[in-house]
Amino acid sequence: MDLVSGYKGVVGLVFGNENSGSNEDSYVERLLDRISNGKLAEDRRSAMIELQAIVAESRGAQLAFGAMGFPVMLAVLKEERDDVEMVRGALETLVGALTPIEHAKGPKNEVQPALMNTDLLSREADSISLLLSLLSEEDFYVRYYTLQLLTALLTNSPNRLQEAILTIPRGITRLMDMLMDREVIRNEALLLLTYLTREAEEIQKIVVFEGAFEKIFSIIKEEGGSEGGVVVQDCLQLLNNLLRTNASNQILLRETMGFDPVISILKLRGSTYNFTQQKTINLLSALETINLLMMGGTEADPGKDANKLTNKATLVQKKVLDHLLLLGVESQWAPVAVRCAALQCIGDLISGQPKNLDTLATKVLGEEPQMEPALNSILRILLRTSSMQEFIAADYVFKSFCEKNFDGQTMLASTLIPQPYSMTHAPFEEDVNMSFGSMLLHGLTLSENDGDLETCCRAASVLSHVLKDNVQCKERVIRIELEPPMPSLGASEPLMHRMVKYMALASSMKNKDGKSSTSGTLYVQPIILKLLVTWLADCPNAVHCFLDSRPHLTYLLELVSNSSATVCTRGLAAVLLGECVIYNKSNDNGKDAFTVVDTISQKLGLTSYFLKFDEMQKSFLFAPVKSAQPRKALTRSTAASMADIEDVDENDSSDQKDEDHPILSAIFDVQFVNLVKKLEGDIRESIVEVYSHPKSKVSVVPAELEQRSGESDGEYIKRLKTFVEKQCSEIQDLLSRNSLLAEDLAKTGGGSNSQPEQRVNGGLDRVQVEKLRRDLQEASQRLEILKTDKAKIESEASMYRNLAGKMESDLKSLSDAYNSLEQANLYLEKELRALKSGGPPTIPDVEAIKAAAREEAQKDSEAELNDLLVCLGQEQSRVEKLSARLLELGEDVDTLLEGIGDDVGLPEEGEEEED
């Protein structure tokens, strides 16, 4: 056999060398040889007895048996069915080989013979089939030891045995038949089926098909219901295995036997004051069955919700609520674990079920004249109990009652009527005749004198459920005013202000023994903060009431920055501050949203403020895993510890100064955690919005801009100038602070990559890009205008240069012609003077000379005159155009031309004289 030979090396390690001839090794080998090869029946039986004894007592013998004994034992079970004693001995030996020897524990890394032998036997071909066939034997002990052997196999190797049983025809049927066997075998079969059906859905269906429900309830009834022993516990655990993840089995139970057999287990029989540990475990198991039916199946099951609704409706019809109220509320002598489980079931039963909610609201407990509504009794338990577990369970009932139950919340809030001062401070025992609301207010306001704020904290948790998502209830409770301790001290105090006062007192809270309680603030302050956060959410009037007292804002700022407070307390205080911004509709100076944001920025700094959110989100209270924790199944190993539970161990939390109290993980449900996360994003966006638009946009013209009566224009202009300068100064101050805010926001978050911070940084980038884009556009427009002006100026300059050149050329031609005439005249004058002075005797022909001169001058000047006439014609046209333009502009042209051209005829007169 390959697997056996594979383990021989292990045997050698335990006993020494394989060839060492260990005494136990050789002894087991000799006994096996006698069993397999012995000739006498008595010798073989005695060898079997000896082998059974040594295997049950020695780890070494167990290991040696595993290496070579299984083929021998299986051969006996196959071939010697007629020899009952040998079959019994073989089965007992196998059970011993698979049972760990507790008194001989070795090192942790040492080979465990029982586990090794279980693996070997389960791998043997047809071993499981062979064992199941033995259940048909008539001998009682054969069937009994076979069940023990199968249980040992299942305990150490469950998956392999489950797979093998599913492949064997009628394998589960044979096990189910054992439930109708004698008591001892029945109990072993129950235990085996409980292990077998834990996580095997196919086996669960087959077991139910084989009539498991009828057999289970028959055994429970036979054993005495909840008063029975461990057999009832095993039956209920098997029932819970069949119902836990199987909606079809739940439907089958509901439509065949119904839920009456389950509910009947909750009925208290015998002495209702006598709760043994086993009775407690049985009741807890039955309550777990009720809880499984209300769950409806697994999350992946598409018909889960419909099945859940039907199960809840059927349970209420069968009066299960009466039994749950008896166990959880009326039977205060019952163990804490049973009371808590019953209250949890009540909360699950009414959650999301309007009819069930109405049924609970109308339930009345007790007998006349001490009858009172069930909700009042549950509230009294919540306020008075010394068990934190019971407080959490009772609080869960109110959470389930108020969740999306507008009418129920309104009904509870309508009873919140302050009692006279004498009743408010009456002993707690006198609250029997109070209404629900009066009892709640009594709990909210009683604690200050007692020096114990725990009762106030519990009442605050209930009030937060009453107010959640219900604006009308919030408005109603805002108007509640408490009587002052002394009427002479002044006006009444709003309930909200009293809650803030108690929250501040919680830091110095003392417990009931009068000693300082360091762990008290770990849950008192956060629970009161939860109430205030819930109260202010989406309720501007609540924000206004909160800010009516100036010290409230200062206290919150101190609490946020208090290093000795827990992470949760600082984070919730930051959320409460943020609500004073996002739900603030006040226009009063000192109470508006801008003032709150400005105070946060000045006192804390936005980086430090937003960091509180990040720290809180990283705490275990806000971890997403918290909501996904399923309830643990009740098993034999956990039942005893569940039955003995009395309270939460607070010693662990008191040693951890920076950790939050474990109770808060139950009080801070998923809905509240999601609300806080939503508020965080809204707060970040709102603070940026407030700084972007620091004041409300109003169209009212300030009085300073209107001219006063009797005020001169100069004085009015001077006053307007002063007003504008003041406004400019304020605007510059705001811009400076906005710049600091932008830088602050850009650094906010402590390294986190939350979406609100990304939006802030993205907004800053967009503002800068937009500003640069506008600057670039304006610069481009100015450049285009300058280019156009430059081209126009260059064109005009070129035109004027051309005109100046042409004028210069014309003037030069006129100057040359004039110079020629001047030279000719000078020459003639010289000749004339020479003639007059007597000159030479020969007198020239003057007339001939003059004629020649004229002819030559005329020839020379004709060309010049032609050019001059052209120029003069052009100048004349310009003069005409200029004259027309001057006339259009209203100028007198004749006046302008006076005196111009008077000297033009002088040269001509000279010429006439010369003539």
pLDDT band at 108 (very low <50, low <70, confident <90, very high): low
Q: How far apart are CA 882 and CA 714, in angstroms?
A: 47
What does each C-alpha distance from 439 to 65, 260, 443, 445, 792 come to in angstroms?
72, 36, 6, 10, 92
pLDDT at 659 (0 to 100): 56
Amino acid symbol at 404: K
Angle between the N-to-C axes of helices 70-79 and 113-123, in degrees from 0 to 180, rounded to the nearest 10: 50
Has residue 409 got a pLDDT over 60? yes
Strand partners, 314: none
DSSP 565: S
pLDDT band at 904 (very low <50, low <70, confident <90, very high): very low
For the segment 4-15, the average pLDDT, to the nearest whole number, is 42
Cα-to-chain-centroid distance, residue 169: 52
- The 10 Å Cβ neighbour count of residue 717 is 12
The answer to whether residues 178 and 143 touch, using CB atoms and an 8 Å cutoff, is yes
- Three-state SS string over 17-59 comes to CCCCCCHHHHHHHHHHHHHHHCCCHHHHHHHHHHHHHHHHHCH
pLDDT at 889 (0 to 100): 74
Q: What are 459's two structure tokens?
A: 């009442």
For the segment 660-669, the average pLDDT, to the nearest whole number, is 82
The answer to whether residues 65 and 21 touch, using CB atoms and an 8 Å cutoff, is no
pLDDT band at 851 (very low <50, low <70, confident <90, very high): confident
Q: How far apart are CA 753 and CA 5, in angstroms?
A: 60
For the segment 165-194, the average pLDDT, to the nearest whole number, is 90
Structure confidence by residue, pLDDT tens digits, 354-372: 999 999 999 999 887 778 9
Strand partners, 481: 494
Q: What are 742's two structure tokens?
A: 């932008």
Has residue 393 got a pLDDT over 90? yes
Specify the higher pLDDT residue, 424 or 801. 801
Has residue 705 got a pLDDT over 60? yes
Has residue 700 got a pLDDT over 70? no
DSSP character string of 678-725: HHHHHHHHHHHHHHHS-S----PPPGGGSPPTT--HHHHHHHHHHHHH
Q: How far apart are CA 620 and CA 603, in angstroms?
A: 29
Structure confidence by residue, pLDDT tens digits, 203-245: 999 999 999 999 999 999 999 888 989 999 999 999 999 998 8
Has residue 124 got a pLDDT over 50? yes
Residue 494, classed as helix, strand or coil, is strand
pLDDT at 759 (0 to 100): 43
The pLDDT > 70 percentage for the chain reads: 76
pLDDT at 679 (0 to 100): 93
Structure confidence by residue, pLDDT tens digits, 457-496: 999 999 999 999 999 999 999 999 887 655 555 567 899 9
pLDDT at 103 (0 to 100): 58
pLDDT at 645 (0 to 100): 56
* Minimum mean pLDDT range among 346-350, 527-531, 698-702: 698-702
Residues 6+ apart with CB under 8 A from 557: 577, 599, 600, 603, 604
Please, is 586 exposed, middle or buried when counting C-beta atoms within 10 Å of its C-beta (0-12, 13-18, 19+)? Answer: middle
State the chain's mean pLDDT as an integer: 80
| First and final C-alpha spacing in the chain | 166
Cα-to-chain-centroid distance, residue 158: 39
Has residue 853 got a pLDDT over 50? yes
Structure confidence by residue, pLDDT tens digits, 623-644: 764 544 556 667 766 766 666 6
18-53 burial, b for 16+ CB within 10 Å, e for fewer?
A: eeeebebbebbbebbebbeebeeeeebbbbbebbbe
pLDDT at 699 (0 to 100): 42
Specify the higher pLDDT residue, 307 or 702. 307
**Which residue, 420, 400, 524, 399, is CA-closest to 463?**
399
Has residue 88 got a pLDDT over 90? yes
Specify the higher pLDDT residue, 748 or 738. 738
Q: How far apart are CA 682 and CA 458, in angstroms?
A: 29
Has residue 914 got a pLDDT over 50? no
> Please, how many CA atoms are within 13 Å of residue 232, restricted to the half-sphere of its CB?
24
pLDDT band at 897 (very low <50, low <70, confident <90, very high): low
H-helix or E-strand containing 493?
strand 493-494
pLDDT band at 150 (very low <50, low <70, confident <90, very high): very high
pLDDT at 329 (0 to 100): 93
Specify the higher pLDDT residue, 650 or 574. 574
* Minimum mean pLDDT range among 8-17, 302-311, 713-722, 873-882: 8-17
pLDDT at 849 (0 to 100): 67
pLDDT at 514 (0 to 100): 47
pLDDT band at 771 (very low <50, low <70, confident <90, very high): low
pLDDT at 518 (0 to 100): 47
pLDDT at 910 (0 to 100): 42
Of these ranges, 244-248, 274-278, 324-328, the one predicted with the greatest mean pLDDT is 324-328
Angle between the N-to-C axes of helices 521-536 and 670-692, in degrees from 0 to 180, rounded to the nearest 10: 60
For the segment 410-431, the average pLDDT, to the nearest whole number, is 69
Residue 515, classed as helix, strand or coil, is coil
For the segment 745-754, the average pLDDT, to the nearest whole number, is 47
For the segment 830-855, the average pLDDT, to the nearest whole number, is 67
Structure confidence by residue, pLDDT tens digits, 815-826: 787 788 888 888
pLDDT at 908 (0 to 100): 44
Residue with tokens 């909360």: 347
H-helix or E-strand containing 482?
strand 481-482
For the segment 608-622, the average pLDDT, to the nearest whole number, is 87
> Please, how many CA atoms are within 13 Å of residue 545, restricted to the half-sphere of its CB?
24
For the segment 852-864, the average pLDDT, to the nearest whole number, is 70
Q: How far apart are CA 146 and CA 95, in angstroms?
A: 9
Q: How far apart are CA 325 and CA 598, in angstroms?
A: 53
Q: How far apart are CA 23 and CA 13, in angstroms?
A: 14
Has residue 443 got a pLDDT over 80? yes
Q: How far apart are CA 719 and CA 714, in angstroms?
A: 9
Residues 6+ apart with CB under 8 A from 137: 81, 87, 143, 146
* Minimum mean pLDDT range among 32-46, 84-98, 764-778: 764-778
Bond into 369 cis (ω within 30): yes
pLDDT at 650 (0 to 100): 43
Specify the higher pLDDT residue, 787 or 429. 787
Strand partners, 482: 493
pLDDT at 270 (0 to 100): 61
pLDDT at 477 (0 to 100): 94
pLDDT band at 158 (very low <50, low <70, confident <90, very high): confident
pLDDT at 77 (0 to 100): 92
Strand partners, 373: 364
DSSP 620: G
**Which residue, 84, 3, 88, is CA-closest to 52?**
88
Q: How far apart are CA 472 and CA 693, in angstroms?
A: 31
pLDDT at 484 (0 to 100): 61
Domains of the chain: 20-101+111-168 (1.25.10.10), 478-509+521-646+661-692 (1.25.10.10)
pLDDT at 748 (0 to 100): 52
For the segment 505-515, the average pLDDT, to the nearest whole number, is 60
Specify the higher pLDDT residue, 914 or 340. 340
For the segment 699-704, the average pLDDT, to the nearest whole number, is 52
- The 10 Å Cβ neighbour count of residue 250 is 23
pLDDT at 657 (0 to 100): 40
Residue with tokens 């383990």: 7
The answer to whether residues 265 and 220 touch, using CB atoms and an 8 Å cutoff, is yes
